């Protein structure tokens, strides 16, 4: 039995909202950690960068890593 947005029980709606808040908190914490890591990585000598590797901005790199990390937190 599938529920539409209008017919969902209040408890399910509250559960989804709580899960959304938890995801955002985990994402924000992971983003801060990965932002620091991406900044440190950029301070390393360029010789360590693989040839032909394109570079994303620090923000894009941290956002991608945080999104991957936060998604793994909710698996299982």
Could you list the residue range(s) of the whole structural domain that residue 37 is in?
23-44+57-76
* 8 within domain boundaries: no
Residue with tokens 């570079």: 55
The confidence score (pLDDT) of residue 19 equals: 83
* 11 within domain boundaries: no
* 70 within domain boundaries: yes
* 14 within domain boundaries: no
* 69 within domain boundaries: yes
What is the spatial distance between Cα 21 and Cα 55, in angstroms, rounded to a whole number? 31
> What total of structural domains would you count in the chain?
1
One digit per residue, the tens of pLDDT, for the chain of length 76 reads 555 555 656 666 776 788 889 999 999 999 999 999 999 988 887 666 666 566 789 999 999 999 999 888 878 6
Contact 59, 36 (CB under 8 A): no
What is the spatial distance between Cα 13 and Cα 54, in angstroms, rounded to a whole number? 42
The confidence score (pLDDT) of residue 8 equals: 56
The confidence score (pLDDT) of residue 53 equals: 63
Between CA 58 and CA 2, with CA 75 as vertex, the angle to 5 degrees is 120
């Amino acid at each position: 039995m599938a529920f539409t947005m209008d017919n969902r029980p209040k408890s399910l709606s509250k559960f989804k909202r709580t899960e959304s808040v938890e995801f955002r908190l985990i994402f924000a914490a992971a983003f801060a950690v990965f932002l620091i890591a991406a900044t440190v990585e950029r301070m390393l000598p360029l010789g360590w960068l693989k040839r032909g590797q394109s570079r994303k901005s620090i923000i894009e790199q941290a956002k991608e890593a945080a999104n991957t990390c936060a998604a793994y937190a909710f698996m299982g």
